Amino acid sequence: MDNYIKQEKKALVMGGGIAGLLTARVLSEQYDDILVIERDERPEKPEARAGSPQSFHLHQVLPRGEMILERFFPGFSDDLLALGAFPIQEPVQWINRYGTMMMPAQGVFYSRALLEWVLRQRVQALPNVRFLYHQEVTSLETSLDRTRITGVHIRQRGQIERQETLMADLIVVASGRSSKLPQWLTALGYKLPEDERLISAIGYSTRYYKAPEQKKGQVPLIVIENDHTKGSSAGGVLKSIEGDTWAVCLSSIAGQYPSTSAEGFEEGLTRLINPAIAEVLRDAEPLTEPRGFRIPECIRHHYEQMENWPAGLLVLGDAFCYFDPVYGQGMTVAAIEAEALAGCLSEQPGAPQAGFERIALQRMQDAIYPAWWLSTLEDLRWSGVTHSGPEPLKHIAFLHKYFDLSLKRQTQQFEKQQQTGAFNPLFMNYMLMTALIVSPRDVINVHMLNLLLDEVPEERGTILADLFQGYDQQNIEAVLDEVVPAFSFHYDEQAVSSPEEEVLQS
């Protein structure tokens, strides 16, 4: 540790979870010495850790996130396969209130623990990255005028008295949803902007099963969505992971928590809008009891709005924004944030200039926005779910209707394709949007709106009335520009094949 203080251009990363590992990888290109401080013990094998209790539950990286991981860690899927990850060879099954989509797919499926293990092995192999395990950051060290964060105070886990101070040029907070950053900043006298809060009372229950011999390799993924039109708030997912294991989860919203008893869990599976998972599991042997997880609220901080944000400090991952996990966005957004940070660092090689941190925070917030908007909008379909914050979400009824019609159209297209081979790729965009590859604004446009409204001519007036509420001019594009998040995404053809192919990989 003494050695550490003497070196040049140092960075400290607080938290060795997904966001911390990605950050260390990004910083390794610009900093001489990066130290990742993690409060858990060094993991000896891929397994769920106490520091990230959510890792017991089913996790999947969205296709956009996998593209970024491939760029940062070329061949990471091969590493996963070598450690027993599940090679996808059969179509994945996506069931929603309009029907079933059997989607051809390729790639690998894995547990969160295995993914984190593979990423950690890669980061540990970087010559300028070191890890300090079983040490907890307790607060921030600042310059005398408190305008710069210069270090952190740490202590060994469980030891109350002995503290140490580590100094660095850049401190990155990647300590997840339990991050104490708001309290630390407040204690230093900073006034924090209003957070956005989505009170959604989400519940998870996850159980593992051994895939029976005759079904091994046959069932990569079954997703069964909930149905707000019938008040069925529970959804379910079965995913094949390493070790011929099926990870099965039930999730629900608005305080309708799925059961964590074995009988209640099995019964919950039969009450989903489709019995596909319950049927597949009929002859499967459970490996664990179900385990629950509750998420009372999701939080999007607005640190980028702080004009006096201290120099030398950044935050990313769940510590910046914590999403409803049902949409599988958290790790992918962390990857996009890390990519944004890499972009900012490469624009300012050498010592970052004044204001660098706020530029980086703004770019990360730009990455957060579309994902937050999509999941918040979807959760607001449920009575009892509320959103608060500086800006209310606008035109919710219009957007709900639009997405209903899009999903219906896409599902029907898929089913038609299976029967006739005819397929309109235009509707694939909805799927690409949920994969964070295509922006919501590319999905919601006048051309598509007219196609969708043609399907429900009797509702045209009501749908448009909600869109134009509060506007004098009836210019659809102008309203959509104001309301719907947009981003452009250029994927690297060297690294990946095509977005359409990639989205079918998971």
Ligand X SMILES: Cc1cc2nc3c(=O)[nH]c(=O)nc-3n(C[C@H](O)[C@H](O)[C@H](O)COP(=O)(O)OP(=O)(O)OC[C@H]3O[C@@H](n4cnc5c(N)ncnc54)[C@H](O)[C@@H]3O)c2cc1C
Q: How far is the CB of 126 from ligand X (least distance, A)?
A: 17
| Residue 331 lies near ligand X (rule: CB under 6 A) | yes
Q: Alpha-carbon distance 225 to 371, whole Å?
A: 18
For 443, the 3-state DSSP assignment is helix
| Residue with smaller CB distance to ligand X, 276 or 371 | 371
Q: What is the CA radius of gyration of the chain?
A: 23
For residues 40 and 415, which CB has a smaller minimum distance to ligand X in the complex?
Answer: 40
Q: Is residue 318 a contact residue for ligand X (CB under 6 A)?
A: yes
Q: How much helix, strand and coil, in percent to the nearest 5, is found in the chain?
A: 40, 20, 40
Residue 318 or residue 379: which is nearer to ligand X going by CB? 318
Tell me: does residue 405 bind ligand X (CB under 6 A).
Answer: no
3-state secondary structure of 411: helix
Strand duo 291-300 + 149-156: pairing: unpaired
Choose one: 15-23, 306-314, 336-344, 469-477; the region binding ligand X (CB under 6 A): 15-23
Q: Which of 20, 235, 268, 312 binds ligand X (CB under 6 A)?
A: 20
CB of 152 to ligand X, least distance (A): 8
Query: Is the Cβ of residue 79 or residue 324 nearer to ligand X in the bound state?
Result: 324
Q: Which sign does the torsion angle of CA 448, 451, 455, 460 carry? A: positive
**Of the ranges 173-181, 186-194, 256-264, 411-419, which one interacts with ligand X (CB under 6 A)?**
173-181
The stretch near ligand X (CB under 6 A) out of 3-11, 326-334, 345-353, 457-465 is: 326-334
Q: Which of 11, 13, 18, 129 binds ligand X (CB under 6 A)?
A: 18
Interaction between residue 23 and ligand X (CB under 6 A): no
Residue 132, number of CB atoms within 10 A of its CB = 19
Output b/e per residue, 470-494; b: 16+ Cβ within 10 A.
eeeeeebeebbeebbeeeeeebeee
CA dihedral angle for residue 62, residue 222, residue 92, residue 70, rounded to 10 degrees: 20
Pairing of strands 135-142, 129-133: unpaired
> Considering beta carbons, is residue 52 or 128 the nearer one to ligand X?
52
Which 189-248 residues touch ligand X, going by CB under 6 A? 204
Q: How far is CA 168 from CA 24, 311, 435, in A?
A: 14, 12, 36
Regarding 332 and contact with ligand X (CB under 6 A), the answer is yes
- The count of other CB atoms within 10 Å of the CB of residue 466 is 16
Q: Is 303 in the site for ligand X (CB under 6 A)?
A: no
427 binds ligand X per the rule CB under 6 A: no
* 337-396 binders of ligand X (CB under 6 A): none
- Please give the Cα distance from 307 to 142 (Å, whole number): 17
Number of residues that bind ligand X (CB under 6 A): 37
Taking the complex as a whole, how short is the minimal distance between the CB of residue 21 and ligand X, in angstroms?
8
DSSP structure string for 398-443? HHHHHHHHHHHHHHHHHHHHHHH----GGGHHHHHHHTTSS-HHHH
Query: Which are the contacts of 6, defined by CB distance < 8 A and separation ≥ 6?
Result: none
Is there binding between residue 52 and ligand X (CB under 6 A)?
A: yes
Taking residues 428 to 447 in sequence order and writing x for each that binds ligand X by CB under 6 A, - otherwise, the string is --------------------
- 19 contacts ligand X (rule: CB under 6 A): yes
Residue 334 binding ligand X, by CB under 6 A: yes
Nearer to ligand X, 256 or 445 (CB): 256
368, 333 contact by CB (below 8 A): yes
Question: In this chain, which of 330, 370, 440, 499 binds ligand X, going by CB under 6 A?
Answer: 330
| DSSP states of 271-327 | TSSS-HHHHHGGGPEE-S--EEEEEEEEEE--GGG-TTPPBTEEE-GGGTEE--GGG
Part in contact with ligand X (CB under 6 A); list of ranges 8-16, 159-167, 228-236, 465-473: 8-16
Q: Pattern 108-137, binding to ligand X, x per CB under 6 A?
A: ----------------------------xx
Is 54 among the residues that bind ligand X (CB under 6 A)?
Answer: yes
Annotate each residue in 275-294 with x if it binds ligand X (CB under 6 A) or - if it does not, as one string.
------------------x-
Looking at the Cβ atoms of 70 and 415, the one nearer to ligand X is 70
Nearer to ligand X, 23 or 411 (CB): 23
* Tokens of residue 423, six digits: 């397929």
The answer to whether 12 and 168 have CB atoms below 8 angstroms apart is yes
Asked if residue 59 binds ligand X (CB under 6 A), the reply is yes
Number of neighbours of residue 89 by Cβ within 10 angstroms: 10
DSSP 8: S
Question: Residue 380: what residue type?
Answer: L
Question: Parallel, antiparallel, or unpaired for β 221-224 and 92-96?
Answer: parallel
145 CB-contact burial (10 Å; exposed 0-12 / middle 13-18 / buried 19+): exposed
With contacts defined by CB under 6 A, name the span among 10-18, 372-380, 411-419, 430-438 that binds ligand X: 10-18
Q: How far is the CB of 116 from ligand X (least distance, A)?
A: 8
- Give residues in contact with ligand X (CB under 6 A): 14-20, 37-40, 51-52, 54, 57, 59-61, 136-137, 174-176, 178, 204, 293, 295, 317-319, 325, 328-332, 334
